[in-house]
Structure 1
Amino acid sequence: MSSQHPLRLAVVLTLVLALVSAPVLAGVPDPGGSSPASAAAQLDAPGLDDRAGLERWVDETVADQLERHHVPGAAVVLVRGNETLLAKGYGYADLEAERPVDAETTVFSIGSTGKLVTWTAVMQGVEDGRLALDRDVNDYLTDSAVSVPETYPRPVTLEHLGTHTAGFEDVFTGMVADDPAAIRSMEATLAAQRPARVRPPGEFVAYSNYGTALAGHVLAEQYDTTFVEYVDERIFTPLGMTDTTYAQPLSDRLEPRRAIGYTYVDGSYQPHDPVVWTLPPEGGSLRTTATDMGRFAQAHLNDGTVDDARILSPDSVAEMHRRHVARSTAVPELNGMAYGFIEMDRNDERIVGHWGTTPRFRSLLALFPERDVGLFVVYNAPGGHAASFKFLDAFVDRYYPRSDDPLVEPPAGAAERAAALAGDYRSLTISESSWERLLGVTTRTYTVGATDDGSLTTRRLGEETRTWVERRPGVYEERGGSDTLVFRFDDDGRATHLFRDAFAPSTYERVPCYESLAVLQGVVGAGVVAFASVLALWVGGFAWRRLRDRDPPSEGERAARGLLGAVSLLWLVVLVVFLLAWLNFDAEAASPSLALQAGKVLRYVALAGTVAAVGAAGLAWREGYWTRPLRVHYAAVTLVALLFAWQLYLLRVVPL
């Protein structure tokens, strides 16, 4: 048994209580949330030519981040044109060996930031004439076991894949493995783990790891090679990215320089083995150094060239950086999607880039095309998620501060408009067909509330409550920050979708009240209490009869009680099993535990027992079992069990 097992049980109990009593747990914020600079700061902003001042500021900022966000090590690279302004490591890549981070030699896992390699390769295929962004991807897969089902009349194209608008559900199973020996070919993995198409392509942005991997497979099919071989030859070698690889495990040359991934538990750092990724184009398995990513950034800033090497034409670079998808036609300033790149504009500065998240590493690449400036940061602990975006925000506020003053008070009539927007909004980047939906519902739902003065509040699991002030109807600016909320309305003027300016690759859809977190919490809480009461009466009733020498219950009464007791116990076991799977999601996705496999069977047994309990409740009333209060209790618990099963069905914990 793991030494962390008692901790996990404690966290499970905390989660159950959180589901019952509170919509969110305060924690690490998502992208956005910087403190905007004043108009006066625009005139006094320091310049990047002050190298000493730049390095001093980065040193102080990162040192504070490592301590504040519990991260052992980080690396930062800043480039401008063909020159490197700063490349520096901070803290430790290996705490036990006391090996410091070096920006030029330390090899990091960078997660989905590596997706930009895939989209750069796809654009090379477009340049070569082998690929077209507007063509059905199935046209390129005639000799492959992989295909996209014809669920909707409109086909999925490389344009849809590169802007995350293909309409796939979100899936994670099949993306990781326990051992590199378990990795299958990209074709086999994509064919076996194909997600459902749940909406027509081109309608909404919903981030898709599978979509990027599929694009990499299309490229490999057209060039009759593997994706890894292609990018090694066409991107990494020309750019001199000699320490960048998709290889798993790392080569003997790079392994000694690998940064260890850590988590911060009970005041100490816990090291972890590398994650084994099964979809290289998805980006998870890409390992690189900060300076190698600096060269990649320079290629995109310098019209596709670094030194004498060219990987893209100027037109292709411009095509990748321009906006391809606007999430709101009514609010054109809202960040949208470029091709492969995510718009990350701040303080009226044009920024495109990408961020990456793995279980232990966080990274972010941001390009300022109009400034010819690129920024890359990477951290070796989960606290780097907040740190990376705070670093970007702080950099923009320091060197390119906003010129306008933030709003502080809502305009007239804001209270009525805000009240109409209150409700839960759930990300479309979510599973529709598996228990993974539990993760999406609990972590990717915003609860929007309205205050008396007409402001909005947002709450989400793992994020502090934020307050938003109306800029104009349907557009809200973060108080004390730089993020923006934008709502989409139907023909009747009802809000249907929510967008965050700082999180372009996602769309949040308003959910009906019966799918809200409040209802989920209420039903789960009622279920836990009801089931516990049945078990207490189950045990207490037996003890009471023995102490009072009462007559034993009839065979029918005993069977009815036993049935509801078993159902109550089963539902509680199912709840704990799936919450533990939620906590240990990465491991369960790589290789489902025996407990999870058992839970998948027990959920159907519990459901069948619940249906049987409905009949038993009717029989109890007809035959006059027990006293009237006990019959009412039995019927009430049975009703709660039905509602409990219904909510678990909405989470796909109990698929039908």
Structure 2
Amino acid sequence: MKNYLFLFTFIVSLFGQPLYVYAQTDAFNVKEVDSLVHKVLATFKVPGAAVGVIKDGEVLLNKGYGLQDINKEALTVDKKTLFKIASTSKAFTAAALAMLVDQQKITWESKVVDIIPQFALYDQWVTKEFTIADLLTHRSGLARFAGDLMLWPEPAGFSRDEIIRNLKHLRPASGFRSEYAYDNLLYIVAGEVVAKVSGLSWEQFVEQQIFSALEMKRCFAGAVPKKQMTNIAQPHGLINDKPTIIKRNQTYDKESVMAAAGGIKCSVNDLLVWVQTQLNRGISPADVRIFSDEQSKVMWSPHTILSVSENDKKYHNTNFRSYGLGWRLADTHGYKRVSHTGSLSGNLSQITLIPELNLGVVVLINQNSTYARNTIMNSIVQSFINVEQRDWLTIQTQRQQERLDRLRTKSAQASLTHNVKPLRKKVTLPLQRYVGLYQDPWFGQVNISIKNKQLYFESLKSTRMHGHMIENEGNEFIVWYDDRSLEADAFARFTVENNQVVGLTMDRLSDDIDASFDYIDLNFTRITE
């Protein structure tokens, strides 16, 4: 067996100058990885993780670390522990469509409206021209995360049909096919294309045509069956700097409206089968082909250009980035990198493939720390490349501290960082003048009432979104949600015309809040007092 050395520490030269250790291609040290992962979990307060590494068709690492549940020390993570894999699910939706292309039931240029007649975007011409490939490539013209409040926090109360019908209310933020803006709603449409063309629901197609074909026995596109509801990585967030179960995301036993965009539940053991199938261009380790070599190339080809950040260039020597079909593409130290991350509140994932090295890495964690996920993934991937082996734990710890320092520079954001409720200030009108029912074209109705001498916000559709409204200034309030695990507090700004309250707009309280809480797209009209 070929092994590869995992080194990320600095050495000191004879001249006293620090040098980076370079990877050597003769040993893969599992103990070094174990040590790193345990340090990462402790540093970023992550209860548990699962990590898999496959090289040249051989599994070098396939194991779990830490706890499934911070409150239950007896429940440890292993290679078969179920995690929500979030947006790494998108590659499965792309693969399902690729299989239908192989079967000549659709093409990537097939028009969506020919398959789903009720599909409509804000612009009629864009609607008519929108293709299957457009659903997967984040180039629709919609704003980043547009309409995601119809998905999260779960259960958001919207059906897939309602989501499709509401797309026409979302105003474009850029020209069609002109720039990259990540979205989730169009992957839900893609899942419904799979259903319309195949005659199976998206969940049935993925489970029967992919999971069963590849013998991925601990992967589920829909609800996890009752007999399989064991060995589950519970979702955690940091509440008052302590790992805490996010109860609203304990939904493994329920079907999810957003499954095609990010709803798969899977173990690292089974994801290694998926990774090997991808590296084999559609052929499983058991020699079962599920999609063609041609479609593999299409999915791994650039469709939408992405920007290259200073950090990408500095740390990965990246010169290009793009989005394929369900995958992000980039060059890393001269090698093509095919990867995707996934982020749901309390569950993070990442899958990275380096095809030229025949290398695949899977990282799953059950806490919201992107710093933990990045440390593990970057450390492992770079250990296989003959380049400077950076201390990723130090780099990501510094980045986390820099973010916290930035948040403390603004009073509202500092309150959010420390989960400290803002003080009540004075607003322009008496509270009773703001009370009423407000309607948004796609999000539906919210009720503003008075409870305990304060305004109270309540979404009638997304029923977890409720809480008191703290007076800020002018006609602006802060929506302070009762469920503190939402981490989604918002500014609410009432529109006043001729001394009458006529509407309401919203925005995130902090730039650090998940952009999926796309308040900026909301425009409420007051319909009753």
Residue 67 (structure 1) shift: 0.6
1:316 aligns with 2:295: yes
Q: Distance in 1 between matches of 2:258 and 2:61?
A: 29
Could you tell me which residue of structure 2 aligns to residue 391 of structure 1?
Answer: 376
Alignment of 1:500-579 (within 5 A): 532=426, 572=473, 575-578=476-479
Q: Does 1:358 align with 2:344?
A: yes
Cα contact 1:79–1:85 (8 A) shared by 2: yes
Aligned to 1:547: none
1:351 Cα deviation (Å)? 0.7
1:418 corresponding residue in structure 2: none
Distance 1:327 1:178 in 2: 30
State the match for 1:603 in structure 2.
494
1:223 maps to: 198
Shift of 1:217: 0.8
Runs of 5+ unmatched residues, structure 1: 1-33, 406-457, 466-516, 522-527, 536-568, 589-595, 614-640
What residue in structure 1 maps to residue 70 of structure 2? 95
- Relative to structure 1, the CA distance from residue 262 to residue 460 in structure 2 (aligned partners, 3 Å threshold; closer, same or farther) is closer
Amino acid at match of 2:282: G
- Counterpart CA distance in 2 for 1:148 and 1:534 is 38
Q: Deviations over 1:581-600 (max 9, x none)?
A: 99765789xxxxxxx9xx97
TM-score normalised by structure 2 residue count: 0.69
Over 3 Å counting, the alpha-carbon distance change for 1:37 and 1:372 in structure 2 is farther
Q: Is the 8 A contact 1:151 1:197 kept in 2?
A: no
- Cα displacement (A) at 1:305: 0.9
8 Å Cα contact 1:177/1:183 also seen in 2? no
Does the aligned pair in 1 maintain the 2:506–2:522 contact within 8 Å?
no
Could you tell me which residue of structure 1 aligns to residue 264 of structure 2? Answer: 286
Task: Report Cα offsets for 1:376-405 as digits up to 9, x if no partner.
Answer: 00000112x211122222223332144799
> Is contact 1:356–1:363 with CA below 8 Å preserved after alignment?
yes
Tell me what 1:414 maps to.
none
Aligned to 2:49: 74
Q: What corresponds to 1:60 in structure 2?
A: 35
How far has the Cα of 1:155 moved from its partner? 1.8
- CA drift of 1:222 comes to 1.0
Q: What secondary structure is seen at the aligned counterpart in 2 of 1:167?
A: coil
Q: Could you tell me which residue of structure 2 aligns to residue 164 of structure 1?
A: 138
Q: CA deviation at 1:59?
A: 0.5
Q: Given residue 328 of structure 2, which amino acid in structure 1 is its aligned partner?
A: I
Residues 138 and 148 of structure 1 are in contact (CA less than 8 Å); yes or no, is this contact kept in structure 2? Answer: no
2:78 is the alignment partner of 1:107: no
Residue 346 and residue 579 in structure 1: after superposition, are their counterparts in 2 closer, same or farther (change >3 A)?
Answer: farther
Change (3 A) 1:77 1:96: same
| Structure 2 partner of 1:269 | 243
C-alpha distance after superposition, 1:122-177 (max 9, x if no partner)? 111111111211232111113xx444454445722122222111122312122146
1:46, distance to aligned residue in structure 2 (A)? 2.6
Q: Map 1:384-423 onto structure 2 (within 5 A).
A: 385-402=370-387
Letter in 1 for 2:383: R
Alignment-derived partner of residue 239 in structure 1:
214
Task: Tell me the C-alpha RMSD between the 2 structures.
Answer: 4.3
Q: Which amino acid aligns with 1:50?
A: A
Question: C-alpha displacement at 1:191, in angstroms?
Answer: 2.6
Write out aligned runs for 1:141-180 (5 A): 141-142=116-117, 145-152=118-125, 155-169=129-143, 170-176=146-152
How far has the Cα of 1:463 moved from its partner? 6.7
The answer on whether the counterparts of 1:299 and 1:305 sit within 8 Å (CA) in structure 2 is yes
Amino acid at match of 2:46: V
Q: 1:109 to 1:603 in 2, by over 3 A?
A: same
AA matched with 1:396: V
Residue type of the alignment partner of 1:90: Y
Q: What is the Cα deviation at residue 72 of structure 1?
A: 0.5
- Partners of 2:484 and 2:226 in 1: how far apart? 33
Report the CA distance shift for 1:194/1:219 in structure 2 as closer, same or farther (over 3 A).
farther
Cα distance in 2 for partners of 1:266, 1:177 equals: 20
TM-score, length basis structure 1? 0.57
Q: Secondary structure at the match of 2:135?
A: helix
Within the candidate set 264, 275, 279, 1:301 is matched to 279
User: Separation in 2 of the partners of 1:131 and 1:464?
Assistant: 51
Looking at structure 1, the residues matched to 427 and 192 of structure 2 have their Cα atoms a distance apart, in angstroms, of: 54
1:116 alignment counterpart: 91
Residue 404 to residue 292, structure 1, CA distance change in 2 (3 Å)? closer
**Correspondence 1:369 to 2:360:** no
Q: Once the 2 structures are TM-superposed, how far is the Cα of residue 82 of structure 1 from its aligned partner?
A: 2.5
**Corresponding residue to 1:341 among 308, 327, 336:** 327
C-alpha contact (below 8 Å) 1:220/1:226 kept by paired residues:
yes
Q: Following TM superposition, by how much is the alpha carbon of 1:247 offset from its aligned partner in structure 2, in angstroms? A: 2.6
Residue type matched to 2:354 in 1?
F
Q: What SS does structure 2 have at the residue aligned with 1:256?
A: coil
Q: Report which of the two structures shows the higher radius of gyration computed on alpha carbons.
A: 1
CA drift at 1:254: 2.0
Check whether the contact 2:66–2:77 (CA below 8 A) recurs between aligned residues: no
The aligned counterpart of 1:255 is: 229
Match of 1:424 in 2: none
Contact 2:279 2:358 in 1 (8 A): yes
The amino acid that maps onto 1:313 is S
- What's the CA shift for 1:113? 0.9
| Structure 2 partner of 1:187 | 161
Structure with greater proportional helix content: 1
Q: Is the 8 A contact 1:148 1:156 kept in 2?
A: no
- Asked if the contact 2:122/2:168 (under 8 Å) is kept, the reply is no
In structure 2, the CA distance between the partners of 1:57 and 1:282, relative to structure 1 (3 Å rule), is same
Change (3 A) 1:79 1:533: closer
Amino acid across the alignment from 1:187:
D
Which structure has the highest strand share of the two?
A: 2
Q: What are the superposed Cα offsets for residues 600-652 of structure 1, whole Å, 9 maximum, x if unpaired?
A: 7x924xx24xx439xxxxxxxxxxxxxxxxxxxxxxxxxxx9xx99999x956
Contact 2:121–2:169, Cα closer than 8 Å, also in 1: no
Shift of the alpha carbon at 1:60?
Answer: 1.3
Work out the CA distance in 2 between the residues paired with 1:90 and 1:647: 38
Change in 2 beyond 3 A, CA 1:534/1:353: closer
Return the letter of the residue paired with 1:390: T
- Relative to 1, partners in 2 of residues 1:63 and 1:570: Cα closer, same or farther, differing over 3 Å? closer
The residue matched to 2:208 in structure 1 has which SS?
helix
